[in-house]
Amino acid sequence: DLPTATAAPDVAAALGLTSLKNNRYQILACTAKTPEGSSPDKKIKEGFKWLTGQVGGMFGQLDPRVKKETAIEKEKADREKEERKKRIEKMRAERAKEREEQERQESLQQANEFTNPEL
Residue 83 three-state SS = helix
16-22 contacts: CB < 8 A, separation 24 or more? Answer: none
Residue 73: what pLDDT? 97
Residue 67 three-state SS = helix
What is this structure's pTM? 0.47
The distance from CA 53 to its chain's CA centroid, rounded to whole angstroms, is 27
* Alpha carbons 11 and 26: distance in angstroms, whole number: 11
pLDDT in tens, the chain (119 residues): 577 888 888 998 999 998 888 778 888 888 877 778 888 888 899 999 999 999 898 888 889 999 999 999 999 999 999 999 999 999 999 999 999 999 999 999 888 887 877 65
**113 with 119: CB under 8 angstroms?**
yes
